[in-house]
Chains A and B, each alone.
Chain A
């Protein structure tokens, strides 16, 4: 158990719909990362937040957005869903103290299926 929680575990929805994925980082971690992993693929970095502010952006579609709240939990919003958005979405957290590179602790993931 990494200490990172993600809800829901599974999500099945239809094309065109909008969903919200939620992540709670490990206690004390200020940084949250979102990744997309399609079937048998690697991890595609989407976005990173640090203490409520966006820090880095990867290959995140305009239909996707995220935010980190004052209590440090984060939400990833996916809208106008397409079949190709079906994937595992991982959240990871790290401490990121003073520019030191820290371990990323991954949550169990949310499996999104778009029908």
Chain B
């Protein structure tokens, strides 16, 4: 079945450093979503990518969908303590199918 992997599993950064998490799917995806879960909270939708090679930005966050639509990345510039949490990618092979979530990357930001 479809598998979605994320690396790294954990990342500790100093406040102000950049951070990147990578998401890789075993199959080509129709679209991919990113979610953030703060400690003790629930996942919150960040963004959806649909087109091959698509790049979207949200303030300090940059999301990219690979040309082959099998991988994606989330890059945070100049991390802040408010960025702490676990970042999940979720990929869907075809419309009408359920999303498969990656295991997440847990980000710690040291002040």
Contacts and interface: CB of A to CB of B under 8 A. Distances in A.
Say whether A and B bind each other.
Answer: yes
Interface of A: 2, 33, 35, 41-45, 48, 56, 58, 90, 92, 99, 101, 103-109
B34 to A, nearest CB: 11
B88 A43 contact: yes
Interface in B60-102: 88, 90, 92, 95-102
B60 to A, nearest CB: 21
Contacts of B103: 41-42
How many interface residues does chain B have, given as a range?
A: 20 to 34
A54 B100 CA distance: 17
Nearest to A42: B103
By DSSP majority rule, is chain A's interface helix, strand, loop, or mixed? loop
A106 B46 CA distance: 12
Contacts of B48: 101, 103
B95 A2 contact: no
A56 B98 contact: yes
Given A56-B97, A103-B48, A106-B43, 10 more contacts: A35-B101, A41-B103, A42-B88, A42-B103, A43-B88, A43-B90, A45-B98, A90-B43, A92-B43, A109-B42
B31 interface: yes
Give 7 nearest A-B pairs by CB, closest first: A42-B103, A56-B98, A106-B42, A43-B101, A103-B45, A106-B43, A99-B95
18 contacts: A35-B101, A41-B103, A42-B88, A42-B104, A44-B101, A45-B101, A56-B97, A90-B42, A92-B43, A99-B96, A101-B31, A101-B92, A101-B95, A106-B35, A106-B44, A108-B41, A108-B42, A109-B42
Contact of A58 (B42, B92, B98, B102): B98
